[in-house]
Chain A
Amino acid sequence: MKKFLIYNILFLCFAVNLFGQSSDSMKQILLKDIQIIENRSTFYNGDKSVIKLDSQIIVANKTADLGELLLATTPLFINAISGSGALETVSLRGTSANHTSVNWNGFPINSVTAGSADLSLIPVAVLSNVNIVKGASGSLYGSGTFGGSIDLETNQSASLPNNFSDATFSFETGSFGSRKTNFSTDAKLNRFSFDVNIFDNKSTNNFKYQDYEKFGNPVVEQSHNKTASQGLFFDGNVNLNASQFIFGIWYQNKDKEIPPMMGSYNAGSENENDNTFKIFAEFKRRFGNNSLDWKTALMLDKEHYTDLNLQTDEFDIDSQIKSKLFYNDLDFRWNCSNNFSMDFAAIYSRIEGDVTAYQNIPVEQNLALLTAAQYQIKQITFDASVRKEFDANAKVHPLISLGADYKTKSKWLTLKSNVSNKFRRPTFNDKYWTPGGNLDILPETGWSADFTAENVVKKNKLGEKICWSEISVYTSKINNWIQWIPQPDGNWSPVNYKSVWSRGVESAVHAKIHFNKFSANFNANYSYTATTTYNTEMSTNNQLAYLPKHNATVWLNLCYRSFNVSYSYTYIGTRNSLESGDGTQLPSFSLSNVQISQNFTFRKFNLTLNVKINNLFDQQYLMSATYPMPGRTIFFSTAITIKNK
């Protein structure tokens, strides 16, 4: 531990002198004869700290899910239970899973009934870009973006060269009955391009662990822990002269068994089926210097939970949660001059929840009007945005974000700062769950401020950063934090229970080296998070439940010709299962994963052989207080690609 602290102090000192991230990204990407119009949120995020995951990291983790990827390569804390495919939620900057907005091609995919997003449902294989916007503003992203936002893009074909197509079949097998099969193809022909990804994943997850909660501490096999998911992602693009039409489909079905807790003598009887169908369309058009962006989506989600009575063979619980989200976003960008742009947007959403535990089928419609502006003067760029939510159920004050970024003339140093206020609408469960739902619950409100310094040590000939570092400090407050607590009638009910002040430091170092046929890619992150809770009963500096004060990751990739070795290290500090500090103290742990791959190319064919070992040193560790995590796991995979160009 002492060594670790020394390392972190050195790391922070180092990070102060170095720095980096893409505030100098091009605002409009020129693709042959059309100009792609940058998304509103990306356009106005120059004043914030953004982790853009390296494409090499995404490729190296293609068989993982999003939670596994973020845990291994970013300072985000991922809470998970019991192995591959089980529920994974994210915590960013001292907030809960409900306070991070997860967006798919610009559309929010957090559950409208529960508020959080299950990252285990998102396979990395379908992702083309992953951006983590730390401290993302409520004015740009809307409800539920206290900690930040995870922006996912699946549209991989838009950047393909013309008359290009390829198809890849991959298969992975490994420990504990893990089988992952994937077929993907993409193509671009003149103005039309598309990509398709079909996958079938399953795992029995029957790993062995020492159950130190049981009499005699026996080594037992995890039971009732199977997962199986199948899905399809499709994205299409039609590029016309001044217009672009994008559309996409996400269908997925997932069955998972919920394992018994450690120490339990129940064989496991709970099952869950998650089914999602999402479809979106987006139309972008340029009018001279100005542009219009209209996007719409329909998202249908279903969750079916059952608990089987093993003696009567009947369900003790048989519960369904169905939701519909219809989302519309119309945005007009006025590029008044080379250094001044404004966006005017209207966002409308309709949410419907059909849940066994609700007494009726609630429907909510929300309208938001938004305006944002960006003004550049010399080396300083100012970003501002204002959003007004017209919510029939609650009064929401206008959401405002103000920020700026400053670059030195040689762009070796960038300073960014942002201050914004936030809100989170109560979920359907908070309001309508029977018993306990509270129709009078208020939205959570709050604010955050951060400062980021980024230092680029070296760029390559294309102007891409190859050695840079970054340090951020932030402070944020959430008021009216919604928490379910017991009521005098004996039921649990959500109340606006407390305020939470979070603050912390984040640092990162990145370096890429190319030397003849050898290349190395290094990526390290560290974050420190502290929280203070205030409510009528207490004011405490205890850390929020399950939130580590310290966590760090290191990722190293070495490549010689077509031979590739990756190593990732994750450190998660101690956590307490209860905010009061009276819960189970979960010890810190560190995980090492290693991956070796070799590519073989023969004309149009490409063959990749890959070996991956997770939890290399076979650590027994806990993410949640009562569910074990798997020890060392080994996976072998192969992928065959045929390219035609």
Chain B
Amino acid sequence: MKNFFNFLLLCVVTIFISCEKTDLTNQSVSSGYSHGIYVVNEGNYGQNNASVTYINTDSNIVINDVFQKANNRSLGDVAMCLGFAGGKGFIVVNNSYKIECVDLKTFKTVQVITGFTYPRYFLKINDNTAYVTDGNFAGKVYVIDVNMMKKTDSIPVGYGPENMVLVNNNVFVANSGGWGIDSTLSVINPATNKVFTTVKVDAFPTDLVVDANNNVWALCQNYLVCVNGSNFTVLKKIPLLHSSEYYNPHRMAIDQSKTTIYIAEDDGVKAISITALSVPTIPLIARKFYGLDVNPSNGQIFGCNAENYSQKGFVIRYKNTGEIIDSIQVGMIPGSVFFN
């Protein structure tokens, strides 16, 4: 029996590895697209070639361009984020100034939310409400009614709001500066939809994660900054190794146990314990990625390889030890991976 299971496991692994560079476009997914892994491919700026790649881990099927196939049109220009709420997917498409709300069973659009100036990221607050960051200078967080699929309110925040996290019933917003300058996190009370405090971290915070202690980590241009998620004080600043006037690592993820942070630096993916005081010089994965995420259910690391930005990219999957598992060809400029 044990041998049988080993054989079965080998078959499953073999099938999954065979997904490398494949595009099983003709295969259908009987259960729809409600659960699985979703790669959001930004696409080239100005080309309207953003896309979503769907990976069904149950049936080991990879489907590129699911939005195009379901809707017979392109997703738009520069897709940033895919959020899930109320049985629907909300795809934020930055340079098309819209959110495509799709039925996750069919991936067909049911509504388009418009009226943005520079939409960036989506965060589910509860079953009825979500937040979306917007703006390249003075920014806003829009409150979205996910059932009605429309904006209901807006909250002024800092410049260039990017990623958000929900911790201790508060929403932290990274004010990246956008096309201006900022170095703060806005903290919003979702019950009132008001900013009740602002935390100064360091210049140009872009990405946020929450650790096992419910502290918030902000990836800034030169520092990784840890903020107490309850009293909003800065606990520590860890200097980054690879940053410059025009470059800063802008992608960060946290492992399954929420005790190890990964950042995508120029020389590779660095694994940083939440108790550490410095960034290791040797990368866990010696490869530069355009995007970086971790599967919260099994801790696998997903590195987004944008190739040369003018041909289809790859998502490369790693164990949390840095050992490669496989790679999958996806769309143009894969930027983020989302799990549902």
Interface residues of A (CB under 8 A from B): 212-215, 217, 261-266, 309-312, 314, 316-317, 435, 485-486, 488-491, 537, 577-584, 625-626
Stretch at the interface among B161-169, B188-196, B305-313: B305-313
Residues of A contacting B74 in the complex (Cβ-Cβ under 8 angstroms): 213, 263, 584
* Interface pair A625/B76, CB less than 8 Å apart: no
Docked Cα-Cα span, A490 to B242, in Å, equals: 12
For the complex, count residues of B whose C-beta is within 8 A of A: 42
* Interface pair A582/B332, CB less than 8 Å apart: yes
* Interface pair A264/B77, CB less than 8 Å apart: yes
Residue of B nearest to A580 (CB): B311
Docked Cα-Cα span, A578 to B306, in Å, equals: 14
A437 to chain B, nearest CB (A): 12
Residue of A nearest to B112 (CB): A215
Residues of B contacting A581 in the complex (Cβ-Cβ under 8 angstroms): 311
Say if the beta carbon of B200 comes within 8 Å of chain A: no
Residue of A nearest to B309 (CB): A486
Say if the beta carbon of B197 comes within 8 Å of chain A: no
* Interface pair A625/B288, CB less than 8 Å apart: no
* Interface pair B73/A489, CB less than 8 Å apart: no
Count of A-B residue pairs with CB < 8 Å: 109
Stretch at the interface among B93-101, B208-216, B222-230: B93-101
A91 to chain B, nearest CB (A): 18
Residues of A contacting B310 in the complex (Cβ-Cβ under 8 angstroms): 485, 578-580, 582-583
Tell me whether A316 and B136 are in contact in the complex, defined as CB-CB below 8 angstroms, given that A489-B247, A580-B310 are known contacts.
Answer: yes
Selected from A263, A311, A584, the residue in CB contact (under 8 A) with B76 is: A263
Residue of A nearest to B135 (CB): A311
Residues of B contacting A316 in the complex (Cβ-Cβ under 8 angstroms): 136-137, 179
* Interface pair A577/B76, CB less than 8 Å apart: no
A259 to chain B, nearest CB (A): 13
* Interface pair B309/A215, CB less than 8 Å apart: no
Selected from B47, B95, B97, B138, the residue in CB contact (under 8 A) with A625 is: B47
Say if the beta carbon of B56 comes within 8 Å of chain A: no
Residue of A nearest to B119 (CB): A265
B318 to chain A, nearest CB (A): 21
A32 to chain B, nearest CB (A): 55
Docked Cα-Cα span, A316 to B245, in Å, equals: 20
B180 to chain A, nearest CB (A): 9
A489 to chain B, nearest CB (A): 4
Residues of A contacting B306 in the complex (Cβ-Cβ under 8 angstroms): 486
Residue of B nearest to A625 (CB): B47
Residues of A contacting B179 in the complex (Cβ-Cβ under 8 angstroms): 316-317
Q: Mark B61-95, 1 if CB is under 8 A from A, else 0.
A: 00000000001011011000000000000000001
Docked Cα-Cα span, A151 to B138, in Å, equals: 49
* Interface pair B96/A485, CB less than 8 Å apart: no
* Interface pair B137/A489, CB less than 8 Å apart: no
Docked Cα-Cα span, A625 to B248, in Å, equals: 31
Say if the beta carbon of B198 comes within 8 Å of chain A: no
A470 to chain B, nearest CB (A): 36
* Interface pair A485/B308, CB less than 8 Å apart: yes
Docked Cα-Cα span, A263 to B98, in Å, equals: 9
Selected from A214, A309, A435, the residue in CB contact (under 8 A) with B117 is: A309
* Interface pair A583/B49, CB less than 8 Å apart: yes
Say if the beta carbon of B5 comes within 8 Å of chain A: no
Residues of A contacting B248 in the complex (Cβ-Cβ under 8 angstroms): 490
- Most chain B CB inside 10 Å of its own CB: which residue of A217, A314, A485, A580: A580
Docked Cα-Cα span, A311 to B100, in Å, equals: 22
Given A263-B73, A312-B138; 4 other pairs, CB 8 A cutoff = A213-B73, A214-B73, A261-B95, A265-B114
Residues of A contacting B332 in the complex (Cβ-Cβ under 8 angstroms): 578, 582-583
Docked Cα-Cα span, A491 to B248, in Å, equals: 11
A587 to chain B, nearest CB (A): 14
* Interface pair B97/A266, CB less than 8 Å apart: yes
Residues of B contacting A217 in the complex (Cβ-Cβ under 8 angstroms): 73
* Interface pair A265/B77, CB less than 8 Å apart: no
Docked Cα-Cα span, A625 to B308, in Å, equals: 20
Q: Which of B268-315 contact A (CB under 8 A)?
A: 288, 306, 308-312
Say if the beta carbon of B266 comes within 8 Å of chain A: yes
Residues of B contacting A578 in the complex (Cβ-Cβ under 8 angstroms): 44, 47, 310-311, 332
Say if the beta carbon of B31 comes within 8 Å of chain A: no
B52 to chain A, nearest CB (A): 15
A358 to chain B, nearest CB (A): 15
Say if the beta carbon of B30 comes within 8 Å of chain A: no
B246 to chain A, nearest CB (A): 5
Tell me whether A584 and B47 are in contact in the complex, defined as CB-CB below 8 angstroms, given that A265-B98, A265-B114, A316-B179 are known contacts.
Answer: yes
* Interface pair B288/A491, CB less than 8 Å apart: no
Q: List 7 A-B contacts (CB under 8 A).
A: A261-B48, A261-B77, A309-B117, A489-B247, A578-B310, A580-B312, A626-B48
Say if the beta carbon of B32 comes within 8 Å of chain A: no
* Interface pair B246/A488, CB less than 8 Å apart: no
* Interface pair B246/A435, CB less than 8 Å apart: yes
Docked Cα-Cα span, A311 to B154, in Å, equals: 13
Selected from A488, A491, A625, the residue in CB contact (under 8 A) with B48 is: A625
Residues of B contacting A580 in the complex (Cβ-Cβ under 8 angstroms): 308, 310-312
Residue of B nearest to A211 (CB): B73
Say if the beta carbon of B6 comes within 8 Å of chain A: no
Residue of B nearest to A497 (CB): B308
Residue of B nearest to A545 (CB): B310
* Interface pair B47/A577, CB less than 8 Å apart: yes
* Interface pair A212/B312, CB less than 8 Å apart: no
* Interface pair A582/B312, CB less than 8 Å apart: yes
Residue of A nearest to B114 (CB): A265
Residues of B contacting A213 in the complex (Cβ-Cβ under 8 angstroms): 48, 73-74, 76
* Interface pair A577/B96, CB less than 8 Å apart: no
Residues of B contacting A310 in the complex (Cβ-Cβ under 8 angstroms): 117
* Interface pair B73/A212, CB less than 8 Å apart: yes
Selected from B49, B114, B137, B266, the residue in CB contact (under 8 A) with A309 is: B137
Say if the beta carbon of B244 comes within 8 Å of chain A: yes
* Interface pair A311/B117, CB less than 8 Å apart: yes
Residue of A nearest to B290 (CB): A486
Residue of B nearest to A492 (CB): B309
Residues of A contacting B250 in the complex (Cβ-Cβ under 8 angstroms): 490
Tell me whether A215 and B100 are in contact in the complex, defined as CB-CB below 8 angstroms, given that A263-B74, A435-B246, A490-B246 are known contacts.
Answer: yes
A498 to chain B, nearest CB (A): 11
Docked Cα-Cα span, A485 to B307, in Å, equals: 11
